[in-house]
Amino acid sequence: EVQLVQSGAEVKKPGESLRISCRGSGYSFSNYWISWVRQMPGKGLEWMGRIAPSDSYTNYSPSFQGHVTMSADQSISTAYLQWTSLKASDTAMYYCARLGSIGVYGMDVWGQGTTVTVSS
Amino acid sequence: QSAPTQPASVSGSPGQSITISCTGTISDVGGYKYVFWYQHHPGKAPKLIIYDVSDRPSGISNRFSGSKSGNTASLTISGLQAEDEADYYCGSYTNSSTVIFGERTTLTVL
């Protein structure tokens, strides 16, 4: 079964760092982009960017460029989303999704989501 | 870059058809065939229901159809069913080589 499994919920304080993960299985992880999508409480979906696990090439949405870092380790079929200094406004659900398997930009397989809560 | 505009809510009765519009610009929706639609039930992961304007992934009901004219894409759901009640998002590739989601549309099945 093709799936993406994300790391568990996180509760952090402002200023702390965080890395969440997304592990793929059931397919050749390095062959497809991984996108990250944010959903803030009560709000819509926002595309944050994508990473090519094969060479770690990244492409960020201007809204997120410089605020987060995407990385990947194809040897363990895992992508990461990282913050160096969290803010309360980073509180959200974060999804990873496979991009490029259906159509060029369709995201056909999604992780279950990781809830990040940033509060003092 | 602003998110493509969608109606905040639409509603319909079981068996009816509804259409959700998605209006962008020539830099996104109007400029590319890479327009897609997602269905999102709260608490679950989003599901791709339309890609490349009008194609359906395997397993998606043919009650869902997509089209585009100019800068506006549309999702039509025919034969509404209770389980169609969800949030719907359009999205598009952009001229910045990024992807952008539209604003959320909440579908209520009366």
pLDDT, tens digit, for every residue of B12-69?
A: 999 999 999 999 999 999 999 999 999 999 999 999 999 999 999 999 999 999 999 9
In the predicted structure, residue A101 carries a pLDDT above the cut 90: no
Are A26 and A32 a contacting pair, CB within 8 Å? Answer: no
- Whether B47 and A103 lie within 8 Å, measured CB to CB: no
In the predicted structure, residue A105 carries a pLDDT above the cut 90: no
Q: How far apart (Å, rounded) are the C-alpha atoms in residues B92 and B2?
A: 12
In terms of Cα–Cα distance, which of B36, B2, B26 is closest to B95?
A: B26
- Whether B46 and A46 lie within 8 Å, measured CB to CB: no
pLDDT value, residue A100: 84
pLDDT tens digits along A37-46: 999 999 999 9
CB-based contacts of B35, cutoff 8 Å, min separation 6: B22, B29, B50, B52, B53, B66, B68, B73, B90, B91, B92, B93
With beta carbons under 8 A apart, name residues in chain A contacting B38: 45, 107
DSSP sequence for B33-88: S-EEEEEE-TTS--EEEEBTTTB--TT--TTEEEEEETTEEEEEE-S--GGG-EEE
Most B-contacting residue of A35, A63, A107, A112 (CB-CB within 10 A), to test interface: A107
Are B67 and B53 a contacting pair, CB within 8 Å? Answer: yes
Mean pLDDT of A103-110: 90
Q: How far apart (Å, rounded) are the C-alpha atoms in residues A54 and A106?
A: 19
pLDDT value, residue A65: 96
Nearest beta carbon to residue A103 from set B34, B47, B102: B34
In terms of Cα–Cα distance, which of B73, B67, B108 is closest to B91?
A: B73
pLDDT value, residue A11: 98
The pLDDT mean for chain A works out to 96
With beta carbons under 8 A apart, name residues in chain B contacting A104: 34, 52, 93
pLDDT value, residue B56: 96
Contact residues of A toward B, CB < 8 A: 35, 37, 43-47, 49-50, 59-62, 95, 97, 99, 102-108, 110-113
Using CA atoms, how far residue B86 sits from A1, A3, A70, B27, B73, in Å, is 25, 23, 30, 28, 19
With beta carbons under 8 A apart, name residues in chain A contacting B101: 37, 44-47
Instruction: Give the pLDDT band of residue A116 (cuts 50, 70, 90).
Output: very high
